[in-house]
Structures are given as C-alpha cells and as structure tokens.
Amino acid sequence: MAAEHSGGDLVVELLADKKIDHLFSVSGGPLNPIYRGTLRAPVRIVHTRHEAAAAFMAEGTARVTRRPGACAVTLGPGVTNTVTPALTAFRAGVPFLILGGQAPVGVLDKEAVMSFDPLPVMRPVTKYAARVVDPGRIEEYFEAAWRAMTSGRPGPAFLEIPVDVLGASAPPPPPRRSGAAHRGPGLAAEQAEELRRLVSSARRPLLIAGDDVLWSEADRALAEAVDRLQIPFVTLRLGRGLVDERHPCCAGVGYLGSNPPLRQRMAEADLVLVVGHELEADLGYGRLISDRAAVIQSHPDPGVVGKFRAPDLGMAARSDQVLEALAGACPEGFDRSWCDEAARAWRAWRGEAASGGQTEGEGIHPGRLAALLEEAMPAGAVFVTSHGNIDFWADPILRITPPGRYLRAGQSGALGAEIPFGVAAKLARPENQVAVIVGDGGFAFHGFELETALRYGAPIVVVVFDDEKWGAIALPQRRAYGAEIELDLPRRAWWRAAKAMGGYGEYVDDEAGLQDALTRAAASGLPAVVQAAVACVESPYVSYNS
C-alpha cells in the first residue's frame, strides 16, 4: 500500500512552494512516487523524449523566468544523460534542480539493475550533489540544494532520492521557509562613493553588463544608468535582452570575436566597468584593456571579482545596487565624441554584416538570414542559439529587446540545447514569440523534442540554417589544411520531419520566399520548422578564435 503522504508527495509540494510549474522528465519506475505527487499539487509533468532534453528544458526555464527549473530522471543512464546540460548550466551560471532516481537503499552498492553511484560524476558539474536516505530529511536536503544553486554565482544542483525513500511515509512540509539565496554582502557606502568618483573622472568609459544583471533583476537600474550617463555599453551572456539593444548608446555584443569594433574600444577606454560578470574568454580575459585604464568589477560572488584580472575597485555586491550607485555619477568629463563613436562604429559594422554581401554557391548569407529573422519576429521575442558557426553569425546581428531573452547555450560549447530551450521558453512564456536558430548539425541532436512541443502546446518557430556542413570546424580546417575532413552533411528534409510529427514545415532557398515562410510558420499555431539553405561563410567569431 502506498503511503498516504509519501516522500514523493513531499518533493512535489516543495517544488510547488518554490513556484515550479513544470517538472521535465522521462519515465522511470523509481520516479513513480513523484509522478503521483503531481496529481495533488500544481506541478505539471512535461514528458520529454530524452533526459538531456528534460534537463536543458529545466535550464531554459530558469533563463527566461529568473527562477530555477527542475527535472526528474531515472537512475543510472537517466542521470548520466543530464551531465552535459549540468555542465552547460554550471559554466553559464544558471540554476536548475536535477532529481535523480535510485534503487532501494537496501541494494545500494550491490549492482542492482541500472544502478550506480552518480555522485562522483555529478559533483564536478553542479554546485551541490547529495543523496537522501531518510524521508524525514528530504526537506532539509531540498532546501540545502536550493540555497546552494541560487546563492552567489548560481548553478545547477543534483539530489538523488532512492525509490523506497520516495515511497515511504514522510512528514508534511513545515511552515514555509524562505530558503533565501545569499546574494553577496552588499555595496558599502565608501565603495559607492569610489565608484562614482572613478566614473566621474573618466573620459572614455565602457560599461559591460553580464549575467548577474539578470539574477539581480537590475534591468531598470541598467536602463536608467545608461540613460542618465549616456555611457557606451555592451551586453553579453544572460545580460542580453535586459535593455533594448537598439539603444543609441549600445556598442554591440560583449564578445570580442563577434564585435571587431569592441576590440578597439576596450584598448582605448580609460575606464572599463564590468557589472555582474567576469573578464572571461570572450572578453579576452581583459588583456586588451590598457594598463593605464581603471577597471571596476562587481558580482555578488566574491570568487568572481578579480578572476583573471585584479580590478582597481572590486565589489561583492548585487548588480542593482551597483547600477543604482553608478547612475549618481557625474558624466561631465566624458569625451562625447568618443562615446558616440563607440556606438556608431558598432552600428556601421553590424549593418555591413547584416547586408550579407557576395557569397559562393547557393543559399542566403547567414548574416543576412539572421537580420531577416529579427525583422520577422515581433519586438520582445525570445531568440535561442547554440555554439556553431551559424550561431556566431546570429550573435552580433540579433538585437534583443525587452522582455525578450537571448538563450545562447555557448559557455560550454554544447550543441543540442536549442530546441529544448525553445520549448521551455514557450511553456514559461506562452505570450511571447520564440524563435530558435539551429544548424543542420545541431537539429539532429534533439529535433524530436518538436513532438514534445506539439503534445504540450508550445508552438515555437525553428529556423534551420542549412549550410550542409559542420561549419565551425570545416572552415578553419579549409584555411589550415586546404581540405575539409568528413565534415559534409548532405541536405536532409528536416522540415518534412516536422510535418511528419504533426507540426508545420517549409523549405526556402532564397530571400524572396523567406519572409512569407516565417509568417506562415508563426501563424500555423504549431511547432514549425523553416529550413533555409544558407551559404557556408566563416563568421568573424570563428576567424578570430581559430
């Protein structure tokens, strides 16, 4: 007989208490007590086609809602299938919870069917990984995992609960606890004063806004600081889409490879202000910044501040506090011609890249296709890309506008997140248009999650940039060796696969038919694939980094 109130019921109640609406999963017997719990709580199971997709959807949920998502996967290979999404989220600083099934406690370490100890595998790719063997401690471990993944620099957490612990009688949840995240010690008054002093004395300032602007909900503070100071700014990673990237002060995206004018601006700036981010690889670890320039950096996690380069002023503080203090600076000394040129140079470079230009062979230039896609989508749309040559074309072309997001699964270099991210975004924000950009290689990873999208009413528009290659590898190979080695991908009718699953699909090979195809796809009310033939053109990002 099932317990009247089981560990599975308690897990679902705790998820509901944290405002989890969707629990992404692939079926597994050890999860049945959790499934049963969803019959009694406002948490909806979304049953995917692969555990990696379930985990990517949990991560995608966090990226668009600013609250952790959650997935539940069965023991053994079910858990190991989540390692890549966990790595992606760990590198990106995105919180989501992986609930892992396990054999009964009595047969742990006895090689039960499918069972193994996943903790040594999960610990390096999560902020917290633990096993619960007592139903009376489920709430304790759950809250510990939640605090770990939402504190400081966020990240994923893993919690394994054996089936007999989930099925056993468990105490009802205690009175609601905050489980509050630790978001840094805060901005001291003397730090705020020094911040304003350094900014006010600058002539050529550059603002870089990153991940923690999202988690600190500093959108308005960022927009107000930019408007008040008229300071040139770039956004990157999770910071994209939090302020209108068509703003006259926007100097583009914060990736040196995707933004050639930014390289010059970083070298010329006498003040670089990095809010809510680290001077990571795509910022060249700060190597282009002049030794004579002042560097200000903030992040709630003290371990991020000073990483790769020691700042002149480092602040372990939330981004909203820092940006509110920044707005109080006096910009009278700014070199307005330099500040204006920073944005002008970016707009000119982007305009040229978005025009396409001459290409060899058939197909639309990938930069031009990205620009046409932006034009076709309504303001505030969510865009999803990954980490390939076509994505690197989309990075600098797409201008994200609030309340949209830019879900770029690029920090770990993982392909496969694109369509799961899109499905999660549409489920979390059904009112928003969601456009997924994926290559002909990446589509094959989790293209069948379009069937999941159909079952759960998530009509996303997937645009397959089909250059018939693994372009990010093929093009540098061609430059280096004069040959490409087994990197061709013959064109397959992915749009027909979408139709076979019950969705909508079209194929286009020129600009003339693209706009109408995108309009029909968006109006279909179905998960849709528009497969577009694109020319294989090396992106500036690939050229810069290879």
Q: Angle of helix 138-150 relative to helix 7-17, nearest 10 degrees? A: 30
pLDDT in tens, the chain (546 residues): 678 899 999 999 999 999 999 999 999 999 999 999 999 999 999 999 999 999 999 999 999 999 999 999 999 999 999 999 999 999 999 999 999 999 888 777 777 777 889 999 999 999 999 999 999 999 999 999 999 999 999 999 999 999 999 999 998 887 765 556 667 778 999 999 999 999 999 999 999 999 999 999 999 999 999 999 999 999 999 999 999 999 999 999 999 999 999 999 999 999 999 999 999 999 999 999 999 999 999 999 999 999 999 999 999 999 999 999 999 999 999 999 999 999 999 999 999 999 987 666 679 999 999 999 999 999 999 999 998 999 999 999 999 999 999 999 878 888 999 999 999 999 999 999 999 999 999 999 999 999 999 999 999 999 999 999 998 999 999 999 999 999 999 999 999 999 999 999 999 999 989 999 999 999 999 999 999 999 999 999 999 988
Q: What is the pLDDT of residue 413?
A: 83
The CATH code of domain 189-346 reads 3.40.50.1220
**DSSP-derived secondary structure for 228-287:** HHT--EEE-GGGTTSS-TTSTTEEEES-GGG-HHHHHHHHH-SEEEEESS---GGGGGGT
The CB-based long-range contact list for 261-266 (8 Å cut-off, 24+ gap) reads 261/342, 261/345, 261/346, 261/349, 262/234, 262/346, 263/288, 264/345, 265/206, 265/232, 265/342, 265/345, 266/206
CATH 3.90.550.10 describes domain 7-167? no
* C-beta of residue 428 within 8 angstroms of C-beta of residue 64: yes
The domain ranges of the chain are 7-167, 189-346, 356-545
- pLDDT for 181 equals 66
Degrees to nearest 5, angle at CA 74 with 54 and 4: 110
Estimate to the nearest angstrom the gap between the alpha carbon of 147 and the chain centroid: 20
Q: Return d(Cα 21, Cα 467) in angstroms, integer.
A: 38
Neighbours of 156 (CB within 10 A): 34
As given in the structure block, the two tokens for residue 104 are 């009964």
What pLDDT, on a 0 to 100 scale, did the predictor assign at position 408? 92
Whole-angstrom distance, CA of residue 202 vs CA of residue 409: 35
Same fold, 7-167 and 356-545: yes
DSSP state of 412: T
Q: How crowded is residue 418: how many other Cβ atoms within 10 Å of its Cβ? A: 32
Exposed/middle/buried for residue 19 (C-beta within 10 Å: 0-12, 13-18, 19+): exposed
pLDDT at 179: 55
Closest CA to 412 of 89, 153, 158, 154: 89
Give which of 330, 351, 134, 326 is closest to 224, Cα–Cα.
326
61, 69 Cβ separation under 8 angstroms? yes
CATH homologous superfamily of 356-545: Thiamin diphosphate (ThDP)-binding fold, Pyr/PP domains (3.40.50.970)
Beta bridge partners of 507: 531
pTM of the model: 0.95
Q: What is the pLDDT of residue 362?
A: 78
